[in-house]
Chain A
């Protein structure tokens, strides 16, 4: 006898269940509670859904990136604008020309302006607001020199200087005020020195001029003494020294001075 014969014998064994079992099974199945069938969407629907989800995620990421980028740009310091009359104030603008920062450079400025006057506003509007506040507080009656100066590390500010000058000048002309508007394009050196001395760049420059003029006449002048002076007042002082010079009063010879000693 071979294994094949054994297999044949095994193959002939009837392993079919009783015929009645089928009926019994089907009957039991019919008596089972009805199932809730979850219909799976077709492959096409699933693919479309997957693509839609992927696109949504991409959109959210891009949108998020754009918003983050915009927020970054909004808060970026792009331009600094200084307004000096006696109150000295520094406005920081972003690249959209909107004021995103305000710094009071002396005590007067903090008393005249409120951040809310200028923050979030376009530069023109902010400058007009500043001019209005100065006017309301009668600073244009007390002072006749206004300086608008601009600094940026990122671009050539000449056009901005002219634009801000025009804004201030228009305000002055419309109200026939007796104020001279001066404009200046600042360098990084001007700004850095000003920061060192905690002054606006223009004021720092003018005070330096005064100090230099005073030195010619042996007068020691301290910056801190003139921090709260208006620009007009400081310029008047400079003019005094200049007049002295013109009148023939000779500036002290510093070398002679040393020899004397």
Chain B
């Protein structure tokens, strides 16, 4: 599937499935930014996100035989998401459920840790302060990771309009608070 990606992820996954390990490098190059944004949405920390990211790729490689040939992005996203949730549980942070459940979603790590991203503008920090978990993840996935709303909606099992609305709402929140901070 193209869309978010510049390459056909399904095709690359099928090559990997057929035994061409060189496709792993292509897959990494094509998807690392997007999957990193997903991991960051959970961990809010570069180092932890990278750890989760590398484990995600190993898991993708190990489970490549289960890939059905379609919806490659959805498939690798699901593996990444489930891995992040399991890792979080292991690290005994605040209880996290799938970020579909906004009521129970809480911030993952204590507020004092820094995002350690290249964020001179401090916009990420602002996002972390003002946004709910789901809003933060949608903003990171779309605005930072470059994942399209249609694909975010598929993986979240939501309507695209709902995702768009949440995103715009989040931007409004960020804008109000970011401006205040600037002032």
Contact = CB atoms under 8 A, between A and B. Distances in A.
A161 B119 CA distance: 110
A21 B53 contact: yes
Contacts of B119: 13
Interface stretch (A23-31, A175-183, A246-254): A23-31
B172 A3 contact: yes
Interface stretch (B21-29, B95-103, B155-163): B21-29
A159 interface: no
Contact of A30 (B21, B32, B33, B36): B21
Given A15-B40, A15-B117, A15-B145, A10 B18 contact: no
A6 B175 contact: yes
B84 interface: no
Nearest to B173: A6
Interface in A5-59: 5-7, 9-18, 21-22, 24-26, 28-30, 32, 35, 37-39
Contacts of A37: 17-19
B124 A13 contact: yes
Given A10-B143, A16-B33, A25-B28, A35 B64 contact: yes
A9 B178 CA distance: 11
B118 interface: yes
B143 A11 contact: yes
Given A15-B36, A16-B36, A35-B19, A10 B54 contact: no
Interface string B135-171: 0000110011100000000000000000000001001
A39 B172 CA distance: 51
A1 interface: yes
Given A3-B171, A26-B28, A32-B62, A10 B36 contact: no
B123 A9 contact: yes
Contacts of A5: 175
Contact of B174 (A6, A22, A28): A6
A259 interface: no
Nearest to A24: B54
Given A3-B172, A39-B18, A13 B62 contact: no
A14 B37 CA distance: 10
Contact of A7 (B37, B50, B65, B171): B171
A237 to B, nearest CB: 92
Given A15-B40, A15-B117, A37-B18, A10 B57 contact: no
Given A30-B21, A37-B18, A17 B53 contact: yes
Q: Which among B29, B40, B61, B179 has the greatest number of chain A C-beta atoms within 10 A? A: B61
- Per CB-CB distance, the 8 closest pairs between chain A and chain B, nearest first, are A10-B143, A14-B118, A37-B19, A3-B171, A9-B123, A25-B57, A9-B121, A15-B144
6 contacts: A10-B139, A13-B124, A15-B140, A22-B32, A24-B54, A35-B19
Interface of B: 17-19, 21, 24-25, 28-29, 32-33, 36-37, 40, 49-50, 53-54, 57-58, 61-62, 64-65, 117-119, 121, 123-124, 127, 139-140, 143-145, 168, 171-172, 174-175, 178-179, 182
Interface of A: 1-3, 5-7, 9-18, 21-22, 24-26, 28-30, 32, 35, 37-39
Given A1-B182, A30-B21, 8 more contacts: A13-B121, A14-B117, A22-B25, A25-B57, A26-B25, A29-B57, A29-B58, A37-B19
